[in-house]
């Protein structure tokens, strides 16, 4: 907002977006602030709380380093000349929100999402992928970049790879030319297709995906190595075991194995067997594969 309070501009970002670009500003001096959007769950569980004040801002505490010794939370004016751009402006001071200004126009409109505690099933993989994209990024689903309006957060599917009872979609998400590359992973069970996992990053391609490289990551509290199987099933022969941090490349997949765990069980998603084939190694379960070479 302008330092005199007469002009107000806004840009949305998708969940996980670490940078932003706000377009269409007139020359002048501005304060830069952040507000989180509330979520209304379509299942009937509604959050009616409105973020009447900004939650964070670009302040002297940000420039100081946001350490415990940075106690000056005063707003820093950013000067913008005609035809120029201001960079390095991070509205990331979340430690003084009760004293930041009131948001003009009542704040951002709440986003409608499905209740995360209730599995959503769909008639085909693309429906499940689109719903997962919306839920994971908290952005509007559009057909392409050209359909994304300026200053709005959007996500659109760019590709599809079908496996065995599993499909993943590549996608792009973001606003005003600042985009993340995403992978949205869905699986087929007796009730239909559901969103299994989502991964977004500031890189050319998501991981895991066929042809992409990453590494093995052992979960918190786990030790040892991760088994590699002869075929995509935990019950199949173990042909190797890879240590934490081992670089891998995906050359086939995904493959989903249905088990006997009831869909309404709390263990259903944890026990789901979603596999990828590691080049020259064998099949490994999805949750142990992460970004990084």
Q: Tens digit of pLDDT for each residue in 189-248?
A: 888 999 989 999 887 788 999 999 999 999 778 888 999 999 999 889 999 999 999 999
Note down the domain range covering 37: 1-118
User: Do residue 212 and residue 161 come from a single domain?
Assistant: no
Residue 128 phi, psi dihedral angles, 5° rounding: -65, -40
Residues 2 and 16 in one domain: yes
CB atoms within 10 A of CB 230: 12
The pair phi, psi for residue 33, each rounded to 5°, is -135, 165
- DSSP characters for 190-204? TTEEEEEEEEEESSS
For Cα atoms 277, 170, 36, give the angle at the middle one, nearest 5 degrees.
Answer: 120
Mean pLDDT in residue range 8-14: 92
pLDDT, greater one: 147 or 107: 147
Decide: 34 and 93 in contact? Cβ < 8 Å: no
Q: Answer yes or no: do 4 and 99 share one domain.
A: yes
Tokens at 27, concatenated? 């020359």
The three-class DSSP label of residue 122 is strand
Q: In terms of domains, do 95 and 129 share one?
A: no
Note whether 32 and 129 are same-domain residues. no
pTM score, whole prediction: 0.87
């Amino acid at each position: 907002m302008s330092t005199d309070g007469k002009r107000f501009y806004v840009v949305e970002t998708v969940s996980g977006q670490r940078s932003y670009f706000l377009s269409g500003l007139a020359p002048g001096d501005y304060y830069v602030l952040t507000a989180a959007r509330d979520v209304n769950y379509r299942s009937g569980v509604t959050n009616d709380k409105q973020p009447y004040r900004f939650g964070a801002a670009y302040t002297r505490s940000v420039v100081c380093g946001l350490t415990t010794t940075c106690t000056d939370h005063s707003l820093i004016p950013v000067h913008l000349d005609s035809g120029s751009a201001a960079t390095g402006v991070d509205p990331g001071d979340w430690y003084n929100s009760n004293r930041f200004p009131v948001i003009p126009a009542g704040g951002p409109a709440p986003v409608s999402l499905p209740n995360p505690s209730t599995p959503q099933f769909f008639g085909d993989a693309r429906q499940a992928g689109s719903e997962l994209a919306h839920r994971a990024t908290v952005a509007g689903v559009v057909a392409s970049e050209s359909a994304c309006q300026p200053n709005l957060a959007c996500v659109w599917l760019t590709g599809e790879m079908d496996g065995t009872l599993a499909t993943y979609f590549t996608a792009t998400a973001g606003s005003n030319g600042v985009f993340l590359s995403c992978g949205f992973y869905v699986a087929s069970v007796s009730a239909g297709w559901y969103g299994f996992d989502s991964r977004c990053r500031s890189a050319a391609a998501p991981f895991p995906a066929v042809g992409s490289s990453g590494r093995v990551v052992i979960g918190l509290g786990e030790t040892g190595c991760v088994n590699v199987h002869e075929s995509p099933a935990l019950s199949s022969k173990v042909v190797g075991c890879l240590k934490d941090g081992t670089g891998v490349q995906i050359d086939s997949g995904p493959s989903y194995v249905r088990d006997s765990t009831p869909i309404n069980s709390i263990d259903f998603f944890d026990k789901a067997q979603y596999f990828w084939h590691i080049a020259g190694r064998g099949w490994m379960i999805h949750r142990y594969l992460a970004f990084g070479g």
